[in-house]
Amino acid sequence: MSEPSRLFVSPSPHIRHGDTTARIMGDVLIALAPALVAACLVFGLRSLLVAAVCAASCAVFEFAFEKLTKRVNTISDLSAAVTGVLLAFNLPVTIPLWQAVVGSFAAIVLVKQLFGGIGRNFANPAITARIILVLCFASMTAWTREWIPAGTDAVTTATPLAFLGRGESVSALQLFLGNHGGSLGETSALALTLGFVYLLIRRVISWETPVVFVAAVFALSAAFGLPPVQSVLSGGLFLGAIFMATDYVTTPYTFWGRVVFGVGAGFLTVVIRKYGSYPEGVSFSILLMNILTPYINRWTIKKPLGGAK
Amino acid sequence: MKKLPGVHAPHKKNTARFPAVPLPAPKLVRIPMSMHIGAPAKPVVAVGDAVKVGQLIGEAAGAVSADIYASVSGTVSKIQDSEPATGERGTIVVIESDGLQSAVETSPPEVSDLASFLAAVRASGVVGLGGAGFPTAAKLSVKDVSQIEYVIVNGAECEPYITADTRTFIDDAELVWSGVRLLSEYLGVRSIIIGIEDNKPEAIAVMKKYCAAEPIASVASLPALYPQGGEKMLIYNLTGRAVPEGKLPLDAGAIVINVTTLAAIARYIGTGMPLVSKRVTVDGSAVPDPKNVIVPIGTPVEDVLGFCGVKPETVRKLLLGGPMMGAALPSAALPVKKQTNAILAFTEADAEVPKEKPCMRCGRCVSHCPMRLTTVEIQLAYQANKPKELERLKVGLCIECGCCTFSCPAKRPLTQYMKLAKAELRNYQNLVKAQAEREAAKLAAKTAKEAAE
């Protein structure tokens, strides 16, 4: 003991909480599982294939880029896998696999790694990749579904937002369960809500952004003369509000910042749905709010205890 | 009033039920002359002098300093300027013990008014025993006593493992209460609040009994949320007041005094025996027999560990203080000081520091900061070398409690970044000040020259 070298000296504190980056990302993957099961029921097993291809290609791009630029390998933190699954959830089940790989490249290399890797990107990788794919490929708007209720015979179908746009009515229950057209992970509000509850219980995310986002869309849809329940349950709102608008890196870390983010994203979503040339506005609105996030943080940071203004 | 955040650190109060046992007199004690904030004490003994327990060996040098007394009886064998083997700097008086622990004859000091009370506090050698080590006499010597609206007796003991203050409440209840009486009588305080975290029901019960019999103080049961015992947290949680930036608790009308500090003052005023020993919690994964031990000040840490059955070869990390704010020791030969309240020894598995990962801006450091600082931005501003940004984010308010590092899932040493950022901001502010002074001097010289012409 008199030998000083045996003792390990480090700055305080000397104990840590058990949470790690990998555990948090693992929790997000678990929370995404119900929606993946729903996707398999609604669109068939190809959903699994698309998700696997996206997750694997994201991981490969992350590994390759970090190897190439001699950065520390971050595969084990599972953030690339989360990006991959989220990207898959934003794609139609019929997407050619090579296009999905292009999406993974955009998400990991263009949006995440070129800005410095985890924690440094200003935009949500999966959302931005989805937008790039929508602009590039027509296949992104070919919505199909496998599980067809008796009495219908269509294979290709429009999304509920397209129906609503034409003034047709859509069953709220069908929307809630997810039995309708759309990208593969977005349709079942039920499954996504299960994931939301799990993330809340595990304290991975807080309730503010998703609840305020959905509430804002509900209220503003009513104000703009859209059926509010159907508006909330269709499109990528639940997926976006629960899993994309709560991304740590690209959304505010203050309570009021998260409220502002939710209100802003909700407003933009409804405006785009009502007046935009695309039927869906969730991804664009989240991306726009991502850009505002540093400012929202700056405006909403708390006054320190005893600190003068 | 909004609650201040914090972290739910594991309590690990394994020794809460163990009354303190005295350590047999060590072979030698090494008593540093600086165990407090302020000027080091001046040794008043010489090598070869025979000393007894309670004999003055170091005299306070100025208002912010403290007297130091021999903790064992024996012979002064060395007076060192430093000890390279352990990295200690500053004067150390080494006393070889005769094993008898014979004490000087003491008699209670005369205390009849505020001045004589403060003189007694000064003579007791007591400093902030919760860890800060600020000379208590200096803290209590306020210009205008009527400024003190609240005296808070700090018994929160929010650090994991440590139960020394808890045992003070239980083992030394009489002393604590006579301390409360002294404060009430000589400071004329309107409100004395004894703050105890609610995971110490026994201590709360004991104090409540005293308060019921003699209503000069009240017990506040505080939620067990680290860092409840932080001075600013206690004041805010008990009075709703925030200590203004760069000011003292007194500016918020409050004085916070640790419970063991109070008991030590009461012991001196009751018996004339100054501070010579300390109740220390010995615990941690390398300690087979955790205990509370009454340790003569200056005892080498390794002697205390040996008393608790610790095998030296199993210890990989040694802390003086708690796991949230305690200092890791480079050597087990270092002495127990006045403000030492715990010795924690950990095995290999608990000694490792996790690998630092990139920040993902989750904001947990922000939501857990009891000072409501924006840690995530401060660490980035520090790394980007932006002192102005550090000034705007008020990093100077950081109390270094460790909540940010504790809660960070990326395992970043944020508290360390905060400390470094504080130093960088101070350097920058000094630089700015020096530059302003230079320019003012230049301007003054110029005007003087012009006036002469």
- B269-320 pLDDT per residue, tens: 999 999 999 999 999 999 999 999 999 999 999 999 999 999 999 999 999 9
Q: How far apart are alpha carbons A81 and B415 in whole angstroms?
A: 31
- A203-240 pLDDT per residue, tens: 999 999 999 999 999 999 999 988 899 889 988 999 99
Q: How far apart are alpha carbons A253 and B395 in whole angstroms?
A: 18
Q: How far apart are alpha carbons A137 and B166 in whole angstroms?
A: 69
Cβ–Cβ gap A2/B302 under 8 Å: yes
Q: How far apart are alpha carbons B385 and A87 in whole angstroms?
A: 36
Q: How far apart are alpha carbons A304 and B16 in whole angstroms?
A: 34
- Runs of H (alpha helix) within B2-113: none
Q: How far apart are alpha carbons B118 and B113 in whole angstroms?
A: 9
- B357-407 pLDDT per residue, tens: 999 999 999 999 999 999 999 999 999 999 999 999 999 999 999 999 999
CB pairs < 8 Å spanning A and B: 164
- pLDDT band per the 50, 70, 90 thresholds, residue A164: low
SS3 for B198-212, per residue? CCCHHHHHHHHHHHH
Q: How far apart are alpha carbons B47 and B93 in whole angstroms?
A: 9
Tell me which residue has tokens 């002064």: B76
Minimal C-alpha gap between A116 and chain B (Å) = 10
Question: What SS3 class is residue A88?
Answer: helix
DSSP code per residue over B345-397: EE-HHHHPPPPP-------HHHHT-TT---HHHHHHHHHTT-HHHHHHTTGGG
- pLDDT band per the 50, 70, 90 thresholds, residue A168: low
pLDDT of residue A176: 86
Cβ–Cβ gap B354/A16 under 8 Å: yes
Using an 8 Å CB-CB cutoff, list chain A residues near B243: 305-306
Q: Residue A160: is its pLDDT beyond 90?
A: no
Q: Residue range B344-354: average pLDDT? A: 92
ipTM (interface predicted TM): 0.90
Q: How far apart are alpha carbons B246 and B426 in whole angstroms?
A: 13
Sign of CA pseudo-dihedral A200, A204, A205, A206:
positive
Peptide bond between residue B43 and the one before it cis (omega within 30 degrees of 0): no
Taking only residues 21 to 80 of chain B, the set having a beta carbon closer than 8 angstroms to any beta carbon of chain A reads: none
Nearest to B415 among A8, A12, A253 (CB): A12
Q: Residue B79: is its pLDDT beyond 50?
A: yes
Q: How open is the CA angle A9-B5-A204, to the nearest 5 degrees?
A: 85
Cβ–Cβ gap A249/B374 under 8 Å: no
Question: What SS3 class is residue A159?
Answer: coil
> How many other C-beta atoms can be found within 10 angstroms of the C-beta atom of residue B284?
26
Q: Which residue has the higher pLDDT, A177 or A126?
A: A126
Q: How far apart are alpha carbons B230 and B235 in whole angstroms?
A: 9
Token couple for A89? 């959830």
pLDDT of residue A149: 43
Q: How open is the CA angle A184-A188-A190, to the nearest 5 degrees?
A: 150
- Runs of H (alpha helix) within B272-318: 301-307
CB contact at 8 A, B167 and B259: no
CB contact at 8 A, B93 and B57: yes
Taking only residues 392 to 411 of chain B, the set having a beta carbon closer than 8 angstroms to any beta carbon of chain A reads: 394, 397, 400, 402, 405-411
Cβ–Cβ gap A306/B242 under 8 Å: yes
Cβ–Cβ gap A301/B407 under 8 Å: no
Q: Residue A177 gets which letter from DSSP?
A: H
Query: What are the angstrom distances between the C-alpha of A257 and each of A53, A297, B365?
Result: 35, 6, 16
Using an 8 Å CB-CB cutoff, list chain B residues near A7: 315-318, 328-332
Task: Name which of B282, B281, B275 is nearest B338 in CA terms.
Answer: B275
- pLDDT band per the 50, 70, 90 thresholds, residue A155: very low
Task: Name which of B444, B447, B399, B395 is nearest B421 in CA terms.
Answer: B395
In order of start, what are the domains of chain A with their CATH numbers? Answer: 21-144+157-300 (1.10.3430.10)
Q: Residue A302: is its pLDDT beyond 50?
A: yes
